Structure 1
Amino acid sequence: MLHTKPYTFHMHCNICTLVTSSGQLTGSQCGAEIDRAECVIRMNDAPIRGYEQDVGRRTSLRVVAHSSVQQVLRNRHELFNDRQDTVLLVWGPERSMRRDGKGWVYNHLHRVSVSPKLQMFQVSPLKMQWFDELFRTETGMDRVRSNTWLSTGWFTMAIAMEICDRINVYGMVPPDFCTSPRALRKPYHYYQLSGPSECDMYLTHERTRHGGRHRFFKEKYVFAHWAQTHDIHFYQPEWKH
């Protein structure tokens, strides 16, 4: 069933692992560590099958951008199963989520049969405004005026801070990583080894002057700031903060 009230799934976890989609996880052998947490959080259509040793097997919450909904539903039999309770939380602009027959995201979620153990929720417009306000408060930048798209990582970290007492993040690079001459070139996604490198993707978004762009570096500086006052820890690579 698709619920439309924000955060009505009432999830709370003592320890969460937030698994990024980064190529930093390739060959990491972090899967067992990831699965030991009470709750495992993943993003978009990042697969598990074939990557278990590096990214684990369990999923408690999957946070999905409106732009990734079709890929997630297309791969639903691999991403979700009848043996595991999973929450799917979808975020996106109000025009895509509307329930009057014109919201394509809402329509897709209702038309497709998924695992009976999957609970689906969508972020309300009011909550979306809160995410924008959080970005403005933390960075001093207006998201719309600065031509910024918030990343799924931003939404996922903010959600994790609401539902988790401790957050262990796997595969997220620190904000200054791409400026280091010792930075190892890794794929942007662990499941797309032939795709662009992580730093190339970050720098491309940073330098783009036309169209919306992610502020990957700015977001990670905010995450480092949050880690000063919240129980957040970064692994593979490990952050010093």
Structure 2
Amino acid sequence: MAFPAFAVSKQQVLPFVALVVLVTVTVLTSLSLLIQQPTIETDLLQRTRQALAEAGLPTHLIQFDGRDGVLTGTVAEADAARLPVIVSNVYGVRQVENHLMPVSTATAHQILAETLSPNASVGLHTPAKKYPIEQVDLGVIQFEYARAELNEPSMTVLAQVLAELRQHPSMVIEVSAHTEHAGTALGNMSVSQARADVVHDYLLSQGIEAKQVVAKGYGSTRPIVDHANADSASKNRRIEITVLQE
């Protein structure tokens, strides 16, 4: 009589084990999706801003909620139709919500000019070097013309920036990107913003809090060498870090 009792017990246990396995798999899958979500959004944001920069379009108007792109802000009428098309063509983007407000090109340029620093248009710029994080040599972070991609050497030098930010969690920095004089003013602004965003997004992907990093593109408005000197003008294509709050 013991053998049938064992068989009945086994039949009762098997469904319970299957249920436990199913619940475990579901929980692990959900956790995996939650962990991957920021990575997916960061990847899409970087690649989309890269595509917009290459097209000479503003890069700061796009954000992502999962795989869904959201376009908001004021944009020149000539660019309003192109932006959602380029975003929707980026691999991995599921859909694009278009909340753009088209304005005349002249108005768009005026809005863009008003976002620049009031000291950005006069003379040569002298980078801040007061804090150790400002003294990190970021010269290795170089971008090809009209592109915004980080390579392995760039990530290596940014490890020093990460160490400083982790050591000083209350510190707030501005990551600024600058271009040489070639190209149009609007195109340079778009490209520089995309480059600043790439560095910003990389720092956040390594665990730095968003409140610690501000990204800003200045285009060619803050040269450190004379644009007329073609041999050294490429030095103006750079990344800088400025401490905004200790």
TM-score (norm 2): 0.29
Larger RCO (CA under 8 A, 6+ residues apart): 1
TM-score, structure 1 as length reference: 0.29
Larger radius of gyration: 2
More helix by share: 2
